Chain A
Amino acid sequence: MTAVGVLGGSNGGYAMSADLTLRGHDVHFYVRDRQRHEAVLTSHQIALTGVLGSGSAPLASASSELASVVSEVEILFVPLPSSHHRGLLDSLLPLLAPGHVVVFTPGTILSSFMAAGLARATGIGDGVTFAESATLPYGTRRTGPSRVNVNCGVTYNPLGVFPARRTEEVMPRLTELFSTFLPATDCLDAALNNQSPITQPAGMVLNTGYIENVRDFHLHRDGVTTSVLRVEEEVDAERVALRRAMGYQAPDYPMKEFYRPGSTNDRALFSNVIQEVNETGDYEEFYETYMPYEGMNHRYLTEACAEGLVFIKALANRLGVPTPNSDAIIQLASVISQRDYLATGRTPESVCLVGTSDEIRTTLFEGM
């Protein structure tokens, strides 16, 4: 039994808190907004349904005081959209002490490295370890004030530690919590195996008319046809080319395996995405009851394009890898959601990642 902190009242935060609790761990759950999360702050209970089983999970604590959660635990998970990471770190960094391990699930792309840089700038020593996984371990949505449903669980979840020289030391403590974590070469290797920057921006752009007209849109259920996949595979090929330019080897979890029914090989992060989503149908319920229609300002663009695809494009271009298909999606997404993603998105420069691929690899291994 391990005491862990789960930071953030996202769908993933609820699912992870409930899942870890039901598997016997002491979970301290931090949510920022008291009003939005009143139910769990009062009851300290989350009801879990779905593929991981059902049950009522009694949390060790649930609090809107970040300090009280951080002081209870060494391992902290951050299952928030990466566009929220910077804001969280402003509050979190001053509270960290040597021995803390902060895991972004996911950190797409390089939230762990960004956090380490900010930690260093604020005078926190090397005693804090940061890590990031390729993906959230679940496909999940909240289905009520303190209810959450897990539609699918991750099969393989590459995890990169910063600095990577601490991988062997940290990994066992994390795989004890999630057996699906696989050690990646480093945090960038893990991050470049997230499919969200590929599936989500392209999936939104290519369905703009439907999303705005019908307003009830589930990407994996409504938004994927042969042609959409063809575009996603073209964009994905650029991600894989970047992985090669960085010297990262397979598995690359390629796009063409993502939706393959019954895929249980080592090429897909999630098996049976489409099947499970369709069978449970809970995404639909969620969309109707808990998420206001956000149109083209959905995080599938504001997060996955801004923090993910723009980074892939920028790093690839810096290493001489052309990205015409990623460029096309970013250009169209910028007009559609009225944001200049190239100017405002996350890039290697914005997280202070500099140098050649070899220099980057060395930095990610050794530390700053």
Chain B
Amino acid sequence: MKVAVLGGGPGSIAMAGHLTTLGHDVRFWARNRTKLSWLMDSKRVRFTGALTETVELASATDDLAAVVEGSSVVFVPLPAPAHEDMAERLKPVARSGQLFLTSSMSGLGSVVLSRALGSTGALTAELPGLPYGARFEGDGVVNLPLIADISSSNVYGRGVGAFPSVTLPEVLEHLSGVYPGVYGAEDSLACAFQAWGPVLHPALMILNLTSIENFCFWDPHEEGTTPSVFRLVKALDMEREALQAAWGYRVTQTRVAKDYYEGHIKVYDTWPNFRDLMTRWAWKDRLDVSHRYLTEDAKFGMVLRLSAARVVGLEMPLTEAIVRIGGALNEEDFSRTGRTLESLGLVGDKRQVLDTLKNGWGEGS
């Protein structure tokens, strides 16, 4: 299949590499040619971890129109703060019948895409997370310890969210050519509520603040994951489950809940391949309060959930607490600046929002 992968991060490159090894014709796009000149020049990337080969992509370029043209599926594995800008760039090149997919755990990237691309007749949907865990090891090398089975309910709960959700059959038809066995969530908001990133990451940051700022080697997934941190993550996840129930969605257990606080001690006991990676990665990138663990997972993911909680009259005091502190750390009120249902045009009461999620805004909106 002809697919396009947009982005510049290790996760995008991992996706492009993995899909190439599965036999797809993968065109890779990144905005910054200079930053990824090693990939743009050679189209080749060496993987370590779950893939142990050097993969040559069909193309790697900064020409967006070229990679989108003719692609059946266009993956947009960009962080939530980049969605709006990417959607605008795609608007002139998207065509009817193509599927555009986000994968940020913050949720509702499909709605952002749809607002820009709806009039083109393109399909828009989202994954509740990227099924790859990857980091750069250096120019030309990506470490990829984790390839998640996208059809496994262990990792993906209820699956893909289509916006509007009446298009789900078409979306699954497109996507199953790339990920066989993939299945759908009730709608894109149900998909958003499955993701564990906004449950785990901001809490790990905030309960390890001094350590993150003081030590080069402090990893909140490892040293910073202690019984009280667990307790908070679990309580946050229970708020998430209550939100699913209040919206009438099936309550799904996150991977975080299932493995992380039921019997395991550290994140890496669940994903041992990560331990080695993260230890080395921590040497390179010091975390700070502007990291996406706060500026994406809290500002977009948690704030979206809070806005959805308000619609159904649900209180999420711990989620609210994390959002407040995460915002204070960035000298910003995330609840005002972050992603909300209203900011995406999903207004009205629960029934109205569910109706829009299902049918979209209608022709000409």
- List residues of A whose CB falls within 8 A of some B CB: 205-213, 222-228, 230-231, 234, 295-296, 324-325, 327-329, 331-332, 335-338
Contact = CB atoms under 8 A, between A and B. Distances in A.
A335 B231 contact: yes
Interface string B76-119: 00000000000000000000000000000000000000000000
Contacts of B220: 209
A253 to B, nearest CB: 21
Nearest to B289: A227
Contacts of A328: 320-322, 324-325
| CB-based closest 9 A-B pairs | A209-B224, A212-B226, A328-B321, A209-B208, A208-B207, A225-B213, A331-B321, A328-B324, A206-B209
Contact of A208 (B229, B320, B322): B229
Given A331-B317, A335-B235, A212 B324 contact: no
A209 B211 contact: yes
Contacts of A234: 328
A228 B210 contact: yes
A226 B322 CA distance: 18
A227 B328 CA distance: 9
Interface in B303-340: 317-318, 320-322, 324-325, 328-329, 331
Given A208-B207, A225-B214, A335-B235, 16 more contacts: A206-B210, A207-B209, A208-B232, A209-B211, A209-B224, A209-B225, A212-B226, A227-B329, A230-B329, A231-B209, A325-B328, A328-B325, A332-B318, A332-B322, A335-B232, A335-B318
Nearest to B325: A328
Contacts of B225: 209
Contacts of B328: 230-231, 234, 325
Interface residues of B, number: 32
Contacts of B365: none
Nearest to A295: B228
Contacts of B331: 230
A336 B232 contact: yes
B257 interface: no
B321 A207 contact: no
A312 B277 CA distance: 45
A232 to B, nearest CB: 10
A329 B329 CA distance: 13
A20 to B, nearest CB: 36
Contacts of A224: 210
B63 interface: no
B318 A209 contact: no
B325 A209 contact: no
A305 to B, nearest CB: 13
B227 interface: yes
B206 interface: yes
Contacts of B321: 327-329, 331-332
Interface in B183-239: 204, 206-211, 213-214, 218, 220, 223-229, 231-232, 235
5 contacts: A206-B325, A208-B207, A211-B226, A295-B228, A332-B206
Contacts of A225: 209-210, 213-214
Interface of B: 204, 206-211, 213-214, 218, 220, 223-229, 231-232, 235, 289, 317-318, 320-322, 324-325, 328-329, 331
Nearest to A331: B321
Contacts of B235: 335
Given A231-B325, A324-B324, A209 B213 contact: no
A231 B227 contact: no
Contacts of B229: 208-209, 212
B223 A209 contact: yes
A74 to B, nearest CB: 45
B210 A207 contact: yes
Contacts of A230: 328-329, 331
B210 A336 contact: no
Contacts of A207: 207-211
Contact of B318 (A211, A325, A331): A331
A227 B209 contact: yes
B228 A213 contact: no
Contacts of A336: 207, 228, 231-232
B209 to A, nearest CB: 4
A234 B326 CA distance: 12
Which one of A212, A223, A296, A337 has the highest number of Cβ atoms from chain B below 10 Å of its Cβ?
A212
A277 to B, nearest CB: 15
A227 B213 contact: yes
A194 B226 CA distance: 31
Contacts of A222: 210
Contact of B223 (A213, A324, A327): A213
Contacts of A213: 223-224, 226
A187 B225 CA distance: 41
Contacts of A228: 209-210, 213
B213 A206 contact: no
A332 B227 CA distance: 14
A228 B329 CA distance: 8
A205 B232 CA distance: 11
B283 to A, nearest CB: 19
Nearest to B333: A324
Contact of A210 (B210, B227, B232): B210
Among B204, B225, B320, B321, residue most surrounded by chain A Cβ atoms (within 10 Å): B321
Nearest to B228: A336
Nearest to B234: A335
* Interface-central residue, B206, B207, B220, B329, by most chain A CB under 10 Å: B207
A212 to B, nearest CB: 3
Contacts of B218: 210
Q: Which of B214, B218, B318, B325 has the most CB of A within 10 A?
A: B325
B346 to A, nearest CB: 25
B102 to A, nearest CB: 29
B3 to A, nearest CB: 40
A218 to B, nearest CB: 11
Contacts of B318: 331-332, 335
Contacts of B213: 225-228
A209 B214 contact: no
A224 B289 CA distance: 14
A210 B228 contact: no
A326 to B, nearest CB: 10
A231 B328 CA distance: 6
B325 A208 contact: no
Nearest to B329: A227
Given A328-B325, A332-B318, A205 B210 contact: no
